Chains A and B, each alone.
Chain A
């Protein structure tokens, strides 16, 4: 008897790691952003996108709520807010 034992590429996209988030999520204020890209680079999920100043945002389908982006932002322009906060 065999069960599927190999996986086709791209399956990690099917795994919505956003469901792992508990209690809090990052809120990108987009007010004092200097586009240093540190939040984008430190994100373990690689789910932060942005280009010019005050354009950076995360994909909540994949954001695990680790808060690394909040900790590294030199302008305190990202903050953790309660999960139920409407943005």
Chain B
């Protein structure tokens, strides 16, 4: 049913329908409303679920790890510093192949302290063995969570999934979201069938020491499973479409790219702004388009290559940066085309860090600059005067 609802509230309602047995989360802006809504459901008896308070994100991540170890579906949501504090545990969760789902309400990383949106937090953890989805709007955010559990819990995958949702821009935005019925979600998402469980009757050890003779195989297995996930993710998206009647999820989304000369590649909510500018510029006769990267890990290299191989000028817009190198998604695109026969110009732009607005003019500027030489790591909307006057 369509509702006019805040992003965090819609995500919480969706999680409720996914029926986790345990939720543990530690409050952090801008994730807070998701947790608040969920504890309210539990307190009201609307949800058969236990909420476990934790003293930090490191603990709340460890708690859901333990819950998964006994074969129960679990959930956690966090942001920024909280996600980074979880980092150690997130690697363990992936290594132990627990099919957990967490939401990252994307926010900048300290220092300086900044509670506004960029994607540095989750992008920093792209190497952790988690599957990562980035939502463009709140409808997609909700739909991706349902698909996330399906994909994570697939017995051939058994890897955790992080659903990344731009802080404030989505979490605090009130917009129309079509929330499914419980029956629909139940039909799409069967109960969890864990690969292994901790059981005193049949004891096993999890997360044990693997010496040089066996550790590397565990990494290889995750790497191979990521390739298998590239096959599964589009299949789950099309099954989702059959059941819920709308397209959501998948690897990437093409927007007016078929005859485009210039395309911007981006992740998350900024794609909506790019699409709007694409429409405007198309109206002015310019052949421009957009690619939304929904699945960041596993990297959909082949899909990106197929979509972009005939586009001469590509811009990648990162809301994060690998300091000392370049935008992470920009580097991923470069990797995708390196050594191929076609070699488009791939320029990299870093924008929106710490909540700096990315306006329609910013997007137009990026399209305009594509006609010139290839740019490797251009900061957009930088206030040069501030830096000149620094002492």
Contacts and interface: CB of A to CB of B under 8 A. Distances in A.
Interface residues of A, number: 9
Contact of A6 (B205, B214, B217, B225): B205
A63 to B, nearest CB: 20
Contacts of B95: 5
B97 A2 contact: yes
A7 to B, nearest CB: 4
A13 interface: no
Contacts, number: 37
Interface in B81-105: 95-97
B226 to A, nearest CB: 10
Interface in B355-370: none
A13 to B, nearest CB: 13
A2 B218 CA distance: 8
A2 B205 contact: no
Contacts of A8: 203-205
B205 A3 contact: no
Interface in B223-241: 224-225, 228
A5 B205 contact: no
B228 A6 contact: no
B218 A5 contact: yes
A6 B204 contact: yes
A17 to B, nearest CB: 12
B369 to A, nearest CB: 43
Nearest to B217: A3
A9 B205 contact: yes
Contact of A5 (B96, B203, B228): B96
Contacts of B214: 3
Interface in A4-58: 5-9, 11
Nearest to B218: A3
A87 interface: no
A5 B203 CA distance: 14
A1 B206 contact: no
B196 interface: yes
Interface in B140-170: 158
Given A2-B97, A2-B195, A7 B221 contact: no
Given A7-B205, A8-B205, 15 more contacts: A1-B221, A1-B228, A2-B221, A3-B214, A3-B217, A5-B95, A5-B96, A5-B97, A5-B218, A6-B196, A6-B208, A8-B203, A9-B203, A11-B205, A11-B208
